[in-house]
Structure 1
């Protein structure tokens, strides 16, 4: 008799666990593209949709909030209706190769500024090479938050 109660208790616990699993899956959402998004393309909200996750076995690591995706760049082709892996997203560059920017060199109270053109794309805090447009010299510097490059002393 005790064995039967124990077995019934185990069966009830298993049924409760299975009943709870779909409700957890019902509360999960994913962000999916509505159009194909190509590598290097900036992601805008008009190309995204929020859908309910119906597959309880879907692995994590996908975007579940629009704020995680909008404004980011894709590193891989994202297909319509498929989840967006967070690992395939990166921040847009603060400095674009070939654009024009301001070089700033500080030493003591002296500040020298000049126009420059970055040799590579870069994010804030990256050290990049920049061609001084006035002299043609290539200098290295750190990308600042305002889009300027702080030149390093040799």
Structure 2
């Protein structure tokens, strides 16, 4: 009698736990993690990443990269430990030029186009605004970094 009761109780526990185990399996998502530790300034390549299944938590999907697509080609802004989820704010776009680099300043408005040499006062990322010292006048101007490494000043 006691043995039959234990058997029934065991089957009942198994029946209750089975949907939980299946649900736990369904709650897993794949996220990219570093294969090796990636240091600040290192470019992130597909070879440095691997997908790992983790429990799906809302905080993971909001604060961390959910796929490799958004990571490859970016640069580590801080240490990315191997095997850990990668926070969104731990990477940055690559710099087109470094602080102190010589850059081309461009101004254009209609048919008027003016170019001049400048010295970057901060590193430049495509689409960001940076301060540049005009080497001819010494005046510091602010402009938008272009994909070719030039800085567009005002105009259109």
TM-score (norm 1): 0.71
CA distance 1:102–1:19, change in 2 (3 Å): same
CA distance 1:51–1:152, change in 2 (3 Å): same
Shift in Å, 1:103: 0.6
Shift in Å, 1:52: 2.6
How do residues 89-104 of structure 1 correspond to structure 2 at under 5 angstroms? 89-104=91-106
Q: Are 1:48 and 2:22 counterparts? A: no
Length, aligned pairs only: 141
TM-score (norm 2): 0.71
- Structure 1 spans left out of the alignment, 5+ residues: 1-10
RMSD between aligned residues: 3.0
CA distance 1:125–1:20, change in 2 (3 Å): same
In structure 2, the residue matched to 1:126 is: 128
Q: Are 1:115 and 2:117 counterparts? A: yes
Residue number among 66, 79, 83 corresponding to 1:77 in the alignment = 79
- Structure 2 spans left out of the alignment, 5+ residues: 1-12
Matched-pair contact (CA < 8 Å) for 1:22–1:56: no
Shift in Å, 1:72: 1.3
Shift in Å, 1:131: 1.9
Matched-pair contact (CA < 8 Å) for 1:131–1:138: yes
Shift in Å, 1:113: 0.6
In structure 1, the residue matched to 2:67 is: 65
